[in-house]
Every structure is written in C-alpha cells, then in structure tokens.
C-alpha cells in the first residue's frame, strides 16, 4: 500500500525556485510508485483570504479556512492562519491544519527557510525539511533597505522567526539541504549527522543541448523584481561589456518585470533595443531559450542553489555566476562555468567577454556541464536521496521507536517549547 506524503510549502506561484522544488519532488514520489504525495500550501500574506485577519472583523467569527486551489495541472489544499498580519502567527499550529496533517504517513516541508515547519508542532508524524537557506540570510536585504521603522520591524520579525526555525530544525527527522552553502548554514543549528545534501533534479530530456549553432544572445533567468537577484549588476556589466567589445549579442532577461529604476537605467544607456524583456511562460519555451543561448548569466547576491544553473547546464550552456552561496555546489570553476565575486561588475563583465571571445571554451564548458547534469542533477539521481530517506524513516521497525520524537535513530529528539 502506498504511503501518503504531505508536501507542504508556502510558495505556489507558477514560476520560481520553491515551486520548481515542489514540482520535482511531487513527480519523483509519483513515479516511484511507492508514495502518494498531496500538496498543501500555507498562508503567507496579511491579506490571505482564508485567514482570520485582525483588520477585518467579518473574519473573526470563524476559524482559518481550508480550501482547494488549482495549480499547474495539480491541486493544492490551502490553509489560512490566525491573525495573518503578524508573521509569526503563520508559523503557529491551528486545529484544522493539525487534523489535516495527521492523516498522512510523513510530512515533507519544502521551504525557503524553516520557521514554517512549526505549524506541525502537534502532529505525531515524521517530519522532514527541504530548505534553501536560513531566515537571517533570506531576509538580509530587507534588514538593510527601507525606512528605519521598516528595518527595525524586519529585524524584530527575523529574531522571532529564528526561534521558530531553531526548534523546527531540531524537531525534524532529517533536513535536506539544497546545496553545500545551505548545509554549512544549517549544520551549526542541528549537527552534521542530521543534514543531507539534496539538490533539485532537472528534467534532462526537456532541458537538453541542440546540435544547431546557438542564437546570438546572452541569457538571464529569474525574478527580475527581486533585489536578491540583483539584475542591475547584470545590466551594469552588460554596459561595460559593450564599451569593451564590438558586436556584443543582445541580452535576454526572462522573468516577471523590471523595476522602474532598472527601466530608467536601460533608457539612460539607450539599451531598449539591445536588452529584451521576456515574460516567463511554459517550460518548453524556457528550454528553447536555454538551448539557443550563448551562455547564462546569474548576478544574484544570495542563492540557495540556483536552479536556473542546473537547467542551463543540462541544456549544454556554460554558466557565469556570482559566488552567491549555492552556485558553488553546481559550478566547477573553469570546467562548467565561471564564478565571480558578488557585486563585482568588472569581474562579471570580464567573464562575459572571456566566453564571447572563446567559442571553443563555451563548447567545452557546455559539454562538461551537460555531463555533470546527467550524473548529479537528473531527476533519478537527485530523487534517490529522498526516496532512500523516506524508505528508512517509514520502515516498520523504525516507526514504533522514533515517530513520536520525529527523529532518526541516534538523532536528538525535539526540544520542548
């Protein structure tokens, strides 16, 4: 009989890192034939329609709601929170959610950072966490930017969230770290023996090289509006590149939308006809964009891994990325791509020039990247760590001894509140 697994996340947009992780893991479990995954999403917004809101008295007469939401070709069960305007309330248990989670054999959280896991505090099922970063690293830009009041509020919320995060990680049976960067950040909290390196898998049949010569463009993929992705760095490097070289290919930016300051930057440098903004559509369209590009550029300040790097490597593209944490797990300097210091516009421009001037190097890096993607980041290779761990956690001998404490044999039990 198939074991039921709840895949619990806080991000259900159609694109982005967490939805990609959730979709990959759901596919892995379904195709294994041993597990029956179901998707559950948690309230993340002060204005969440299923939540009890302090500012809306009409919501006070009923508990947080549970509703079904269509997502891609699947369905999420979405659960509201009490007083959703207060961030820490979204991390707290609520009766309806506890009763829902109790129906599953195993709870798998897929989260950017881990405070969310505390919603399962009162559930006596094995809990596993797949995370990309820590709360403080995830919120670093928020704590640096904005008004004094906003920075102070953000700092306070992070301090509260970190307490939930520490308890959540220590109560988990195991923690899957998206990259070596993630593992290094998590291990001081829970200990080395509990953290497993678990990068995302990529569909190497969909994301594949082409035999045709590539198109004449450089590719950037991500959330253009997210300050952590630092698209401005890529734009500044592109301006510098055009001053240093002739016949520079166009730059394709694939994502949501540019902020007004970035649009103004393009206009001030008369780049409207050289930088093309492309709304991210389906995976087939994205795979074609990878397949026909010269190379991928990633300009982030911080990355848990950089799934776009894996997609590009599987597509036979060399990658230029800032050394922003997670990318170091995927990129081997000089073999599958080039790494530059975070925020260093000159180094990024120089790396782009190096690849443009050396077609043979691009070809060699692309081929090596494809080999690495097939060996380490294919759906089967990346999925094995999850399936093996689930099998261990759910075997009959283990269950009676360890489920109550949500811990693997030999690992510490959950801390008291």
pLDDT digits (tens, 9 = 90+) for 265-320: 999 999 999 999 999 878 999 999 999 999 999 999 999 899 999 999 999 999 99
Q: Same structural domain for residues 331 and 311?
A: yes
**Chain segment 66-107, per-residue pLDDT in tens:** 999 999 889 999 999 999 999 899 999 999 999 999 999 999
208 falls within a domain = no
Residue 81 · residue 90 · CB < 8 Å: yes
Residue 156: the pLDDT is 74
Q: Is 180 exposed, middle or buried (0-12, 13-18, 19+ CB in 10 A)?
A: middle
Which DSSP category does 58 fall into? G
**Chain segment 307-359, per-residue pLDDT in tens:** 999 999 999 999 999 999 999 999 999 999 999 999 999 999 999 999 999 99
Q: Same structural domain for residues 194 and 232?
A: no
131 falls within a domain = yes
- Containing 153, the helix (H) or strand (E) segment is helix 148-171
Helices (H), 113-270: 135-138, 140-144, 148-171, 180-190, 231-244, 260-268
Q: Same structural domain for residues 391 and 371?
A: no
Residue 412: the pLDDT is 35
What CATH number corresponds to the domain at position 338? 3.40.50.2000
User: For residue 62, how many other CB atoms are within 10 A of its CB?
Assistant: 9
Overall number of domains in the chain: 2
Residue 72 · residue 102 · CB < 8 Å: no
Beta strands in 181-237 (DSSP E): 195-197, 217-221
415 falls within a domain = no
How far, in Å, CA of 114 to CA of 132, rounded? 9
Instruction: Give the mean pLDDT of the chain.
Output: 90
Q: Same structural domain for residues 86 and 172?
A: yes
Q: Same structural domain for residues 11 and 95?
A: yes
Indicate whether 409 pLDDT > 70. Answer: no
Q: Same structural domain for residues 275 and 349?
A: yes
How far, in Å, CA of 269 to CA of 61, rounded? 56
How many residues belong to the chain? 417
Residue 47 CA: distances (Å) to CA of 54, 55, 82, 86: 10, 9, 12, 11
Q: Which domain holds residue 171?
A: 3-201+378-405
| 327 three-state secondary structure | helix
Indicate whether 261 pLDDT > 50. Answer: yes
Please, what is the Cα angle at 383 between 393 and 8, to 5 degrees? 65
60 falls within a domain = yes
How far, in Å, CA of 315 to CA of 230, rounded? 24
Nearest alpha-carbon partner for 350 in 247, 241, 269: 241
Contacts of 252 (CB under 8 A, 6+ apart): 217, 218, 219, 220, 276, 278, 289, 293
pTM: 0.88
Q: Same structural domain for residues 339 and 255?
A: yes
Q: Same structural domain for residues 106 and 51?
A: yes
Residue 246: the pLDDT is 93
Q: Same structural domain for residues 358 and 314?
A: yes
Q: Same structural domain for residues 264 and 121?
A: no
Residue 287: the pLDDT is 96
Indicate whether 399 pLDDT > 50. Answer: no
Residue 282 CA: distances (Å) to CA of 35, 165, 286, 357: 27, 34, 6, 32
Which DSSP category does 415 fall into? P
How far, in Å, CA of 369 to CA of 318, rounded? 7
How far, in Å, CA of 176 to CA of 235, rounded? 34
């Amino acid at each position: 009989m198939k074991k039921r697994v709840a895949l619990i996340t806080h991000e259900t947009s159609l694109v982005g890192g967490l939805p990609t992780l959730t979709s990959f893991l759901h596919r892995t479990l379904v195709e294994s034939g041993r597990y029956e995954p179901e998707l559950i999403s948690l309230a993340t917004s002060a204005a969440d329609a299923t939540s009890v809101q302090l500012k809306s008295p009409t919501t006070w007469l009923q508990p947080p709601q549970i509703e079904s939401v269509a997502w891609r070709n699947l369905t999420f069960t979405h659960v509201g929170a009490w007083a959703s305007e207060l961030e820490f309330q979204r991390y707290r248990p609520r009766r309806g959610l506890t009763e829902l989670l109790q129906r599953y054999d195993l709870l798998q959280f897929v989260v950017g950072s881990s405070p969310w896991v505390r919603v399962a505090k009162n559930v006596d099922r094995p809990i596993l966490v797949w995370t990309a970063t820590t709360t403080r690293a995830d919120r670093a830009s928020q704590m640096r930017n904005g008004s004094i009041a906003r920075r102070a509020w953000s700092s306070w919320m992070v301090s509260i969230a970190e307490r939930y995060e520490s308890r959540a990680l220590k109560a988990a049976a195991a923690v899957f770290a998206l990259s070596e960067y993630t593992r290094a950040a998590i291990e001081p909290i829970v200990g080395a023996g509990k953290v497993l390196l678990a990068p995302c898998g990529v569909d190497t049949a969909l994301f594949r090289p082409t035999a045709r010569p590539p198109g004449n463009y450089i590719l950037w993929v991500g959330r253009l509006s997210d300050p952590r992705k630092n698209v401005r760095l890529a734009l500044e490097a592109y301006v510098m590149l055009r001053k240093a070289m002739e016949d520079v290919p166009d730059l394709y930016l694939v994502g949501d939308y540019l902020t007004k300051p970035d649009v103004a930057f393009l206009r001030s440098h008369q780049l409207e006809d050289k930088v093309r903004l492309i709304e991210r559509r389906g995976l087939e369209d994205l795979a074609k964009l990878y397949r026909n590009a010269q190379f991928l550029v990633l300009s982030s300040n911080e990355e848990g891994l950089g799934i776009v790097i894996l997609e590009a490597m599987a597509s036979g593209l060399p990658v230029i990325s800032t050394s922003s944490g997670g990318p170091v797990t995927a990129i081997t300097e000089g073999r599958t791509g080039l790494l530059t210091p975070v925020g260093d516009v000159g180094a990024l421009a120089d790396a782009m020039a190096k690849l443009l001037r050396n077609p043979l190097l691009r070809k060699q890096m692309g081929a090596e990247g494809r080999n690495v993607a097939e060996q380490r980041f294919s759906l089967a290779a990346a999925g094995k760590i999850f399936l093996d761990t689930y099998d261990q956690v759910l075997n009959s001998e283990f269950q009676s001894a360890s489920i109550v404490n949500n811990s693997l044999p030999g690992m510490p039990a959950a801390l008291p509140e």
